[in-house]
Structure 1
Amino acid sequence: MATTTAIMNASAITATPRARRRPLRPARLLGYAFLILFAAAQLAPVLLMITNSFKTDLDVLNSPVGWPSTFRFENYAEIWQRADFGRYLINSVLVTAISVAALILIASMIAFYLARFDFRWNRALLVLFLLGLMVPLRLAVIPIFSLMKDLHLLDSLAGLMIIHVAERLSFAIFVMYGFALSVPREIEEAALVDGAGWGNIYLRIFLPLMRPALGTVAIVSAVSVWNEFFFPLVLIRSEENRTLPLGLATVMAEFRTEWALLFAGLTIAAIPIIVLFVLMARQFIDGMTEGTR
């Protein structure tokens, strides 16, 4: 039964006792009040965007912070048809999903290697990867453009995905490497004694224990890729390959006086990321608070 003992140990580590209720002291109540005000300040623009998306242009101009006099659901159908939002949305979903999946796979394998295999060049490799946090990839936009052109990846979603993965690889390795160091080596040693190979250890032990880090990297990277405007603007030429932010720029230029349609387009662009964050909020919070419990 290869890896059975190791997996049981891993499950025991990931299981955390239920937190005890703390008394509500004045300082704690003040902290909650501050968090509620901060959340309200962050959610107010989102609520304003959604309510204005159901208004007429006259209502938006006369009462931008009020409730719609009549709900115009046809705003969404109209902007969807006139701006080819279906194409933009599909492109953004493909680019974001494939880029984040490739980023997590590559970064987790590199972090696993750097944290578990002791070679002389490990430290130099880690420093080399972390240098990417200090040097923005956008500074090399001209060489990148020339490279994409030579590789015939210009104006393609595949080239855009490669750039997204390369731009965020350093951050992903930085997050996952710290988590990888916290995984006890005894679990891997027990798996090796049971006859498991390093591939099984990576897939069945390392990745499950890294769920908080994977969730953190996935959400942060997905939001970043979804909202990316610079590289699609530089690399994408044809309308059928435009992503949602680039398509929204076209919409803002075309419908700059049709505010209700513009708010409807912004709402469509925001919904997938909001859904993703709601689904993965637990993993994100666990990743951000790891080490403080």
Structure 2
Amino acid sequence: MYPSLSSPGRPALRASLIHFVLAGYTLLALFPIVLVLINAFKDRPAIFDDPLALPTPDTWSLIGFERVLSKTAVPMFFGNSLIVTVVSLALILLFGAMAAWALTEYRFRARRVITLYLAFGIMVPIRLGTVSILELMVELELVNTLAALVLVYTAQGLPLAVFILSEFIAQIPQDLKDAARCDGVGEFKIFFQVVLPLVRPAVATVGVFTMVPIWNDLWFPLILAPGESTQTITLGVQQFIGQYATDWNAVLAALTLAIVPVLVLYALFSRQLIRGITAGAVK
């Protein structure tokens, strides 16, 4: 007889298959990061002889970090990326949460129009408007300034932030908000003291999903802020890549420094991120 579809072994087999696929995807995603990290601490011959080998006492070298930190402006590039990312992230989370609260809590005529407008912001890539954005920044005299990048990244991240936060805010019991209003609590206090603490997993999820594309972006820094004093870390690394020769020790060291903030952010907010992604999956 054929085994029943509801046999006890099938859930375990299905779970094992899912874990196998997820483990394979994890290894595939982590492989480039591990490859960069292990080769950043090796000398140049060892990088080309065996790029998959771990550093040994004979191949260990910090020459790439010495060049990056002492002979280039990479620390300044790193600071530029940090400023742009932190300011953009703060604006996206603040304005995104406030817009999500307004669209979820209040009923007004333009509500559907604004929702549709934000939906277009998700569906249409912002890079399609690069020429118009550049013309606007030239008219505002913001070319080669960090403010230009902050404005673009804020506009880029707001639509997704509003939609994610709206779904979480809508799940907050209405009785809780009405009780605060009955106690004389103002709308701003309800938003900052009642709503935001309850949607922290969603805020962490939006923060991670927004921070990574901003930190890794090369397109807009190359177009809007290519000056020596406004380059980001992603753009600054390109100076080590030449037409005829590439300083791979410096490139890998700079990439390692660029990876660290993303890993630290994920380590700090991984629990909130997982809660935000899985919220609503099980009722």
**Please, what TM-score do these two structures have when normalized by structure 2?**
0.91
Confirm or deny: 8 A CA contact 1:255 1:261 kept in the other structure. no
The match for 2:21 is: 34
- 1:138 is aligned with what amino acid? R
Greater RCO, 1 or 2 (C-alpha within 8 Å, sep 6+): 1
1:1-293 correspondence runs (5 A): 25-69=12-56, 70-253=59-242, 256-293=245-282
- 2:50 is aligned with what amino acid? S
The gaps in structure 1 that reach 5 residues or longer are 1-23
Q: RMSD between aligned alpha carbons?
A: 1.6
- 2:25 is aligned with what amino acid? F
State the Cα distance separating 1:256 from its structure 2 match.
Answer: 4.4
Confirm or deny: 8 A CA contact 1:255 1:262 kept in the other structure. no
Please give the alpha-carbon distance, in whole angstroms, between the structure 1 residues aligned to 2:16 and 2:129.
49
Identical counterparts, % of pairs? 31
State the Cα distance separating 1:176 from its structure 2 match.
Answer: 1.1
The gaps in structure 2 that reach 5 residues or longer are 1-10
1:229-250 CA distance string (max 9 Å, x none): 1111111132011001110122
Please give the alpha-carbon distance, in whole angstroms, between the structure 2 residues aligned to 1:284 and 1:138.
27
The match for 1:18 is: none
State the Cα distance separating 1:37 from its structure 2 match.
Answer: 2.7
Please give the alpha-carbon distance, in whole angstroms, between the structure 2 residues aligned to 1:248 and 1:115.
43
Please give the alpha-carbon distance, in whole angstroms, between the structure 1 residues aligned to 2:168 and 2:245.
46
State the Cα distance separating 1:137 from its structure 2 match.
Answer: 1.6
Confirm or deny: 8 A CA contact 1:256 1:262 kept in the other structure. no
- 1:57 is aligned with what amino acid? R
**Please, what TM-score do these two structures have when normalized by structure 1?**
0.88
State the Cα distance separating 1:41 from its structure 2 match.
Answer: 2.2
Alpha carbons of structure 1 residues 56 and 283: separation in structure 2 relative to 1, 3 Å: same
